[in-house]
Amino acid sequence: MIAKQFGEKHNRKIKIVAETDKNDSSLVKSVKNCGYGLDAHWNDDFHHSIFTYLSGENAGYYSDYGGPEHIIRCLKYGYDYNGVYSNYLHKVRGTVFKNMPKNRLIVCDSNHDQIGNRAFGERPLKILGDKKFNFAGMIILSPFTPMLFQGEEYGEVSPFLFFVDPPDKKFAESVFNGRKSEFSDFSWSQDVPNPADIQTFINSKLTWNESDMYVNYYKTLISLRKKYVSEKYKLYMPEKKKRYKNRLRECICLFLSIRKRCKNKWSWHNLYNI
C-alpha cells in the first residue's frame, strides 16, 4: 500500500519483490485474499532443478533435486516443493501456487547467492560449458519472469566471490570460519578464499570481455520472449482467469529432451496458461 501511494505521488511504477526460498504463495496473493500483496518473489526451485539436471551436482540442498521431473513440476505448478517432503530439510516445504500468474515468480541461472555462496564463486558458464546455453534458454523462455546477473549476457567469466570489509577482525574471522563450516555439506575444498582479503574482492571484478556469441544469443532469446511470451500477458498481470493456448514452438525444443525422460505424462500446451 505504501509503495502504491508513493508511486502515484511521484508518477512512478514501483514493484515489490521478495527475496525468499520459502515457496510461500501468500507473499504474492492479493491482500483481499489474505495475502501480502507483493508483486513477485524469487523461485529458487527452478534454478536448482535445472542446474542439478545439467551439472549432476547433488550435494547439500541440491540433493533434493536432480531429475527432470523436478523441472516439469516447476513448469506445471510454479514450485517444485509445493507442500511436499524435503529429504534435505527433513520436513514438508512450500505451499500450493494454484492458478496465480507464473510471471509473479522471479527465476535466474545466476545471482549473488547461487554464485557467491559457492566456495570459489564459479559462474554457470565455467561449470556447465556449452550447457549454459540450455540453462539461459530455459530461464528466459520460461513462463516466469527472468532475471539476469551482472555480465552473464555477454559471457563474463570472472568469479563472484563472497567478500566483506568489516572493521572488526574477529568478526571477519568468524565469517571466514562460518563459510568453511557451511561447505561441509558439499564436496568443495575447504581451502576457500578469505572473504576479508582484498584480493578476493579484486578477483570478483568484471573483466568486461564481451563475447559476440553470447551477446547475440541473449538478444535472440530476449526477442523470442518479447514475441512469444511477453505479448501473451503483461508483467505482473492481475489475477484474472485468462488462459492462452500458446505452445511457443521456438522454445519447446529446449525442453523436449527433459520431457522424453520424464515418466509423468503432461500436456505442453498447459505450460504458459495463466
In this predicted structure, what is the pLDDT of residue 105?
A: 96
Q: Nearest-CA neighbor of 20 among 51, 45, 52?
A: 45
> Is the model's pLDDT at 263 over the cut of 50?
no
pLDDT for 88 = 95
pLDDT band at 95 (very low <50, low <70, confident <90, very high): very high
pLDDT of the residue at 233: 46
In the DSSP assignment, the letter for residue 123 is -
| Rounded CA separation 99/106 (Å) | 16
Residue type at position 21: D
pLDDT score recorded for residue 98 = 82
Query: Is the pLDDT score of 258 beyond 70?
Result: no
Query: Lowest-pLDDT range, 16-20, 21-25, 172-176, 240-244?
Result: 240-244
Phi, psi of 247 (to 5 degrees): -90, -10
Question: Tell me, what's the pLDDT at 224?
Answer: 82
Indicate the range of 185-189, 243-247, 251-255 predicted with least confidence.
Answer: 243-247
Least confident stretch, 18-22, 85-89, 95-99: 95-99
Dist CA 189 CA 172 (whole Å): 20
* The predicted structure's pLDDT at residue 190: 65
The pTM of the full predicted model, rounded to 2 decimals, is 0.82
Whether residue 179 is predicted with pLDDT greater than 90 in this model: the reply is no
Q: pLDDT tens digits, residue range 53-87?
A: 999 999 999 999 999 889 989 988 999 999 999 99
Helix or strand (DSSP H, E) at 31: none
User: What is the identity of the amino acid at 3?
Assistant: A
Phi, psi of 213 (to 5 degrees): -60, -45
Residue with cell 517432503: 85
| Res 35: pLDDT | 94
| pLDDT number for residue 247 | 35
| pLDDT tens-digit map of 181-232 | 878 778 776 688 999 999 999 999 999 999 998 999 899 888 888 877 765 5
Asked if the model's pLDDT at residue 152 lies above 80, the reply is yes
Tell me: the pLDDT tens digits for 103-150? 999 999 999 999 998 999 999 999 999 889 889 989 998 989 999 999
What is residue 186's predicted lDDT score, i.e. its pLDDT? 80
